[in-house]
Amino acid sequence: MIITCNNVTKLPYLEKMRIVAGRGGLNKVIKWVHVMENPKYTEWLKGGELLLTTGVAIGEDISDLLKFIEDINCRNLSGLVINVGPYIKEIPEEVIKLGDSLDFPIFELPFEVGFIDISQSICRSIFTNKIEQESMDNFMKDIIFNDLPVTDEFLNRAISYGYNPQMSYCAFIVKMDNFRDFIKNNKITDEREALEIKQHVGQVVTDTMNKWNRKVLHTIQNNSIVLMLPIEKRDKENDKINNIAKDVIKEVKAKINDLNVNIGIGDYFVDLKNFRKSIVKAEKVLKILPITKEENIGRYKDMGIYRVFFDLDKYEEIKSIYEQTLGSIIAYDHELLDTLEVFIEDGCNLSKTSERLFVHRNTLRYRINKIEEISGKNLKNIDDIFSFSIALKIGKFLKCI
């Protein structure tokens, strides 16, 4: 579990610490903990720290405390913990308002709780999480890239991360679709900060999985979170997996503004050695998603004819089919191609198509007649309709590979 301002109070010795301001920034990741009493030394901070203070050097001077908070917020700290006691008897209303306006988390901690217990608990959790995640990352990369044999030792490694050999699984890939634009728009140039955003997305995804009682193995790969998702046989899994995917998208949107994610779901498998195959199929889904009707979620089993296209060794033949079937129409008027696509999608129904295209039925009839004249096909013939439909899908497929 990545330690954030949102979950830090769940750690040992932190039960009495409570958030009083800046709830809008609770998703900030805590990289480390630092105790600071003298505001003059904030230049030593690197960003990402959770700062602990008793306020001994500030006392009850509210203006100094406000300047201190503005300073550490500008230095990208994760939050501030104020030990309420003899030096700062209570957190002033002005401080709470400032924290809220900056979305900068400010916590209140009773004076009797020792800083040593707080810092040890957080740092230990940060270190343990880092070691565990690096170990799982190495294991997942061995499966994805190295194609290692599933020996008893390898299987035991998987089991230690939560894998259950008695269950079915599927590859579940959450792709940050606009990640490059996101970091550009947010003026993020530091690679470490970009990685932290990916880690934050990973934490949102795993938190959502925990909500659905799914113990997942996961890793970050490029701009994607790759998961091994367990399938529960007692569920109507098609609906359940789809609902989990929708929930992931909803949570990411709620936690990280303007970051869009797509989800590709591979085939189910039982043997661990087939995880890699499921990943490949989930990646194919992510390539096809932009040209299908589903906006964000797709399963390999629902990809239909596109599955056949991907399994072809060469694409020259299907490109030839596309050009022979639609080339003359495209050359004459690309508008006819759009009309043809909508007409077939609407079951060759003139009324529905004319309404969708906002054209008169006579205009539509003229276009249909022109398509038949140019192509030499009959849009009342089921075989010709099928040929057009396949060619249109080939055109979309060729754009996405």
Q: Are strands 168-176 and 224-231 parallel, antiparallel or unpaired?
A: antiparallel
The pLDDT of residue 281: 92
Tens digit of each residue's pLDDT (9 = 90 or more) over 119-143: 999 999 999 888 888 898 998 988 8
Joined tokens for residue 207? 């938190």
Same domain, 51 and 153: no
CB–CB of 218/205 below 8 Å? yes
Tens digit of each residue's pLDDT (9 = 90 or more) over 239-277: 789 899 999 999 999 888 889 999 999 999 988 989 999
| Number of independent structural domains in the chain | 3
Sorted by sequence, the CB contacts under 8 Å of residue 276 that are 6+ apart come out as 143, 144, 147
In a domain, 127, yes or no: no
- The structure's pTM equals 0.72
Alpha carbons 217 and 230: distance in angstroms, whole number: 9
Sorted by sequence, the CB contacts under 8 Å of residue 66 that are 6+ apart come out as 94, 95, 98
118-151: buried (b, 16+ CB within 10 Å) or exposed (e) per residue?
bbebbeebbeeeeeebeebeebbeebbeeeeeee
The pLDDT of residue 400: 66
For tokens 């030593």, name the residue.
Answer: 44
The DSSP secondary-structure symbol of 272 reads G
CB atoms within 10 A of CB 392: 18
Report the CATH number at residue 269.
3.30.70.270
Report the CATH number at residue 50.
3.40.1390.20
The pLDDT of residue 149: 82
Confidence of residue 293 (pLDDT cuts 50, 70, 90): low
Q: Are strands 106-110 and 79-84 parallel, antiparallel or unpaired?
A: parallel
Mean pLDDT of the region 69-93: 91
Distances (CA, A) of 121 to 46, 50, 127: 21, 13, 10
Q: Where in the sequence is the domain holding 178, given as residue range(s)?
A: 147-302
Tens digit of each residue's pLDDT (9 = 90 or more) over 364-381: 999 999 999 898 889 988
Tens digit of each residue's pLDDT (9 = 90 or more) over 110-119: 998 889 999 9
Question: Over 90: is that where the pLDDT of 395 sits?
Answer: no
Q: What integer best gives the mean pLDDT of the chain?
A: 88
